[in-house]
Amino acid sequence: MAILATATRQSRTIHEFLPGHREAVEPDSSTKPMLRPLLFLGFSLLACSSMQAAVTLPALISDHMVLQKSAKSAVWGTASPGEKVTATLDSAAGEAVADAAGRWRIELDLSQEKEGPFDLVIAGENRIVVSDVLVGEVWLASGQSNMAFSLAADVGGKEEIAAPPNARLRQFHVGIAPSPDPKSDCAGKWVAAAPATLGDFTAVGYYFAKNLQQSLGAPVGIIDSTVPGTPIESWTSLNALEKNPDLKIGAERYLKRAADTDAYASAIDAWLKQYNRADKAPDDPSLFPMDTIPGDAKPVTLPGLFSAAGLPDAGAVWIWKKITLSPGDLGLEQLIRLASPGGFETLYWNGKRLEGDTPETDLGSGTAHIGYVTPDKIDNILAIRLYSPGGNGGIGGDPQRFTIGSIPLQGEWMGKAEYEFPPLGAGAMQAYPKPPNGDMPRGRPAYLFNGMIEPLLPCTLKGVLWYQGENNTGRAYQYQTELPSMIEDWRAQSQSALPFYLCQLPNFMGKKPAPSESAWAELREAQTKALSLPDTGEAVLIDLGEEGTVHPRDKHEAGRRLSLIALAKTYGKQVPSSGPVYQSFQMEGDKIRVLFATDDGGLVAKPLPSAYQPLSAKPQTVPLVRNSPAGELEGFAVCGADHQWAWADAKIDGDSVLVWSSAVPAPVAARYAWADNPTCNLYNQAGLPAGPFRTDDFPLTTEKARY
């Protein structure tokens, strides 16, 4: 049975129906209650317009857009079947006839056009003028949170945002829209780089575009299609997933979970109506402020049940806590985790609602979370309204999962009852639907491809930037086939051999005192293996991560390294684009010689500092422990036939590195930077690092993990 046949309608937002204990969730702007009706109305009007034979355009073709400078730069839309549509931009013109489904596509020859700005005129039975259109370079930036990471949160973001407007650098941000079915359009608009808009730009994409613009002297447009906390399977089409038996089985399982969530939604709705437990608005909302603690609130200790403090076990309860941050936390995204709330929670940060909840799990640890805030002041108020129709109101679970950033939230809160439900009888409790396992629309197979990549496929792009993998480290071995499959699928469905340049995962988590296995290292290897495909490249970021956060704040160098790859491989510029690349190895007695392909001045041992910052937002430093203090290079390890790894000494010898260890007199294999957060210092003269690698083919720790 095809996977598509198992897909069900996308479930409503979880906060519409979820009582009882559950795992906390992260905000998803696509599910805001007021947004969905408006989008529905918009699509309804679009459908009506199409029925009336009016030419319509997708959101991507709109004012302030950037069109790719190409001999075949596409514009597309809908019209009445058989309707003739023309498109003109300066001296370029083209025409098409809408097919039986009302779709049309025109390819304009913009290869010789100046940059503009121009008006793009689309005409059929009606006439549409798209104004302020530039002709330049258009790149798609996609992936999860590190590509979504905003310029406002970047360590150098304030200076960039304060710079004069740059009308030749623009972004289109695709609205988060997981979908069970392929979509032809998406939400979003084009904006030019200016102080009022730059804070919302993808930081990696912005720095890539800025460097590209400076080097090429051309306008650059970035299409930002990103969603935090998402696996690669969500970004891959069902067609591609079905071709891999393991992925097909996994996708069917996830879609069954989605169906269970939908069924639970209906069951909860029916239960709430039957037992008169639906939520209701307060009689006097002013009694429950969102940005201050009311004087009549009383102490409640959390984690724990509200009933222990004399607050309702079932009903609606407000809780407040003052959050005092350090100066180093300002401007830094903070993750709010609520362990296991007993009911449906609504959060307010200094009076601003965090809304649109969908189930999510924290990276790498399986802990639950609500989402991110970026504080701009020291003293803050976190207010939570918890609606508990099934009882057990309160916050349960592990106190270690009850935090904001690194600040514990356990202890005293202030609470106040909004209303209380009467106790339930045994029959009602027995009929109470049990929630299924956590299910997030953004994590379902193909949902993000359907809603956020499919609508972009008609667009003429210069290439793709990809920063994702954190959510797949537990299945790193499988990523070896998943990433190439997704790349080939995007290319096939867009009918374009798109250059595809990715960010290798940076260093993260604590440093280990001895060589060990690492799922993060295995994921990095899987990313590197994708370079066997043509027109691919990899920005190695093994020196740009942070021990204390999965979101390193300095995105400038990541964007710059991606731009160097594009300038060299796509635009033919003579610029350094890669650090040393492992080629082969050979045994030389008690040593292993590792050979590299290298340009830009050969191999370099970059000096190491005596200390480092685990978290860039905080000034504290810790000593950097050298694993091979007598060696020129750090990061190498060797093993013998027993597969017991030991740190190795290493020195540069021409275009190779000699590696050895007194603890391993007969080495059989070597590894470099094979750790979550390795200490390593092999570079070239251009300052670009060598990527992690291994000479062995030993089984990996994630080989048996499956989607």
Q: Write down the residue that tokens 């200490």 correspond to.
A: 679
Residues 562 and 592 in one domain: no
Domain stops at, among 388, 421, 454:
421
Q: What is the pLDDT of residue 60?
A: 98
Domain tally for the chain?
Answer: 3
In a domain, 428, yes or no: no
Cis peptide before 37 (omega within 30 of 0): no
371-373 vs 334-338, strand pairing mode = antiparallel
Cα distance between the two ends of the chain: 18
Cis peptide before 303 (omega within 30 of 0): yes
Give the model confidence (pLDDT) of 12-31 as tens digits. Answer: 232 322 333 333 333 333 33
Q: What is the pLDDT of residue 332?
A: 64
Residues 455 and 556 in one domain: yes
Domain with 479 in it: what CATH number? 3.40.50.1110
Which residues constitute the domain of residue 596?
A: 581-694
In a domain, 390, yes or no: yes
Distance from C-alpha of 679 to C-alpha of 540, rounded to nearest angstrom:
14
Residues 476 and 496 in one domain: yes
In a domain, 427, yes or no: no
In a domain, 249, yes or no: no
Distance from C-alpha of 455 to C-alpha of 476, rounded to nearest angstrom:
29
Q: What is the pLDDT of residue 326?
A: 79
Residues 363 and 460 in one domain: no
Domain with 1 in it: what CATH number? 2.60.120.260
Residues 88 and 190 in one domain: yes
Residues 296 and 318 in one domain: yes
Residues 71 and 171 in one domain: yes
Residues 75 and 200 in one domain: yes
| Weakly modelled stretches of the chain, pLDDT under 70 | 1-53, 328, 331-333, 355-372, 437-439
In a domain, 687, yes or no: yes
Q: What is the pLDDT of residue 371?
A: 66
Buried b (16+ CB within 10 A) or exposed e, 627-642: bbeebebbbbbbbbee
Cβ 669 vs Cβ 638: under 8 Å: yes
Q: Which amino acid is at 497?
A: A
Distance from C-alpha of 83 to C-alpha of 74, rounded to nearest angstrom:
18
Q: What is the pLDDT of residue 51?
A: 44
With CA atoms as reference, report the closest residue to 643 among 523, 519, 516, 513: 516
Q: What is the pLDDT of residue 443?
A: 86
Distance of CA 507 to the CA centre of its chain: 17
Give the model confidence (pLDDT) of 26-52 as tens digits. Answer: 333 333 333 333 333 343 334 443 345
Phi and psi at 587, nearest 5°, equal: -85, 140
Residues 86 and 218 in one domain: yes
Residues 6 and 139 in one domain: no
Residues 463 and 381 in one domain: no
In a domain, 699, yes or no: no
Distance from C-alpha of 467 to C-alpha of 505, rounded to nearest angstrom:
8
Q: What is the pLDDT of residue 158?
A: 92
In a domain, 150, yes or no: yes
Give the model confidence (pLDDT) of 485-514 as tens digits. Answer: 999 999 999 999 999 999 999 999 999 999
SS3 percent helix, strand, coil of the chain, rounded to 5, is 25, 30, 45
Q: What is the pLDDT of residue 41?
A: 36
Dihedral, 163, 166, 170, 176 alpha carbons, nearest 10: 20
Distance of CA 563 to the CA centre of its chain: 20
Cβ 254 vs Cβ 467: under 8 Å: no
Give the CA distances from residue 272 to residues 73, 276, 425, 431, 633, in Å, rounded to whole numbers and listed in that order.
53, 6, 14, 11, 65
Q: What is the pLDDT of residue 328?
A: 66
In a domain, 644, yes or no: yes
Residues 93 and 227 in one domain: yes
Residues 6+ apart with CB under 8 A from 497: 491, 534, 535
